[in-house]
Amino acid sequence: MLTAVVGINWGDEGKGRMVDLLSRDYDIICRYQGGNNAGHTVVNEKGKFILNLLPSGILRENTVNVMGNGMVIDLEHLCGEIERLREKGIRITPDTLKISDKAIICMPYHKQQDILEEERLAEKKYGSTRRGIAPVYGDKYMKKGIRMGDLLYPGTLEEKIAGIVEWKNLTLKGYGQKVSLENILQWVNEFGKPLIPFIADTTEYLLKSVKNGKNILFEAQLGALRDIDFGIYPYTTSSQTLAAYAPIGAGIPGVKLDKVIGIMKAYSSCVGEGPFTAELFGEEADRLREAGAEYGAATGRPRRVGAFDIPASRYGVWVQGADELALTKLDVLAYMDRIPVCVAYEIDGERVDSFPTGDRLLRAKPVFEYLEGFKTDISGCRTSNDLPKAALRYIRFIEEAVGCPIKYVSVGPGRDDYIEM
């Protein structure tokens, strides 16, 4: 079984906790895009974990975790993340973690360039995590990247880095900055060496695993609306967040997925800039943000929050090709007397049910309807029969509106705090 777990909306939907849950049935978990701009939160019997680079299956002892060629990897951050997990008793060895030799390294100058550009843009900024993601993906397609596999060949590595640093300084000169070759080489040596045992031809490994009938779960970062092609451009990430890209970013482009599981919250949240039509404001937003602990796992930034957005979610389900859905954080809505839902948009005085793009999206205003709140703590519910009727009606309303069955509903942050419908 080859399954992708992907975000339906703007990211932060709860993919990490669902991958952690579902990984019990899979042999291999593979992250296939993005970098340490991810923030996948998992709560289990060992504690609370925030994973930025490592696949969420790393917390299960019997899974192999793969970081695919579609990822960009900050060596220093990865070393720190591995060390933090080891301190909590998580076993991480070359048998449990394999890093693609084709994945691109996110260098210190990528972070430097990211920060400089966001500061230059000032009020027009895109809301970057300032972790170098856009610059490193840009360099990848400019063919100015250093791959993880290059660490295996120190004899030619220094020459490659020297050429790129010379070129990069032409860019940084425009910001009045410069990067030191000596410092970059020292950084690569310090944080690259500990990772060398994990570097592998993951394409060969995954192809053999598919041939041998292994179950593989592909883990996405961010959501459909942040995809570089199909998201709210330019307020997107710099990689492909869609399920269709999973085999490519994992390193096995010739295989086909068997299932796509889309993850979406029972309300909306968003980190960063860009259009967010169903956004709530003032006291209403503050209360929802606090109830849902809506602060970015990667950045700590307060998330923007809003009502469940049907046009956006229906679009996300479609572009992801979702076969079934997981609805997360339903328990957060227990305080509401009435639950707001954005059922459509109004653009230039016209009601619009589909998700627009470009300037039309910027002009969109929400059309809200309100459903009866369930006003009950549902964190102890473990079957659909345990749920209040109003909670079930809310689930069915969303399911019908987005056109895809909801199979899982989370009612708390813990690994076992969910209902299989």
Pick from 237, 244, 241: which is nearest to 224 by CA?
241
Residues 384 and 394: beta-carbon distance below 8 Å: no
- As a dihedral over the C-alpha atoms of residue 236, residue 305, residue 20, residue 92, rounded to 10 degrees, the angle is 60
**Mean pLDDT computed over 392-398:** 98
pLDDT at 193: 97
Residue 68 has pLDDT above 90, yes or no: yes
**Residue 273 pLDDT more than 90?**
no
Tens digit of pLDDT for each residue in 8-30?
999 889 888 888 889 899 999 99
**What average pLDDT does the structure give for the chain?**
94
Q: Provide the CATH topology of domain 104-195.
A: Adenylosuccinate Synthetase, subunit A; domain 2 (1.10.300)
Q: Could you tell me the fold of the domain covering 265-420?
A: Adenylosuccinate Synthetase; Chain A, domain 3 (3.90.170)
pLDDT greater than 90 at residue 48: no
298-357 pLDDT, tens digit each: 667 788 999 999 999 999 999 999 999 999 999 999 999 999 999 999 999 999 999 999
**Residue % of the chain over a pLDDT of 70:** 99
Distance between CA atoms of residues 330 and 410, nearest Å: 6
Ranges of CATH 3.40.440.10 domains, the chain: 2-99+202-261
pLDDT greater than 90 at residue 85: yes
Residue intervals in the chain for CATH 1.10.300.10? 104-195
- At residue 365, the pLDDT reads 98
Provide the annotated active-site residues: 12, 40
pLDDT of residue 298: 61
Q: What is the mean pLDDT of residues 92-116?
A: 96
Location of each CATH 3.90.170.10 domain in the chain: 265-420
Q: 3.90.78.10, 2.60.120.40, 3.40.440.10, 3.30.465.10: which CATH number matches 2-99+202-261?
A: 3.40.440.10
pTM score above 0.75: yes
Output the pLDDT for position 297. 62
Look at residue 121 in the predicted model and tell me its pLDDT.
79
Residues 144-157 have pLDDT tens digits of 999 999 999 998 99
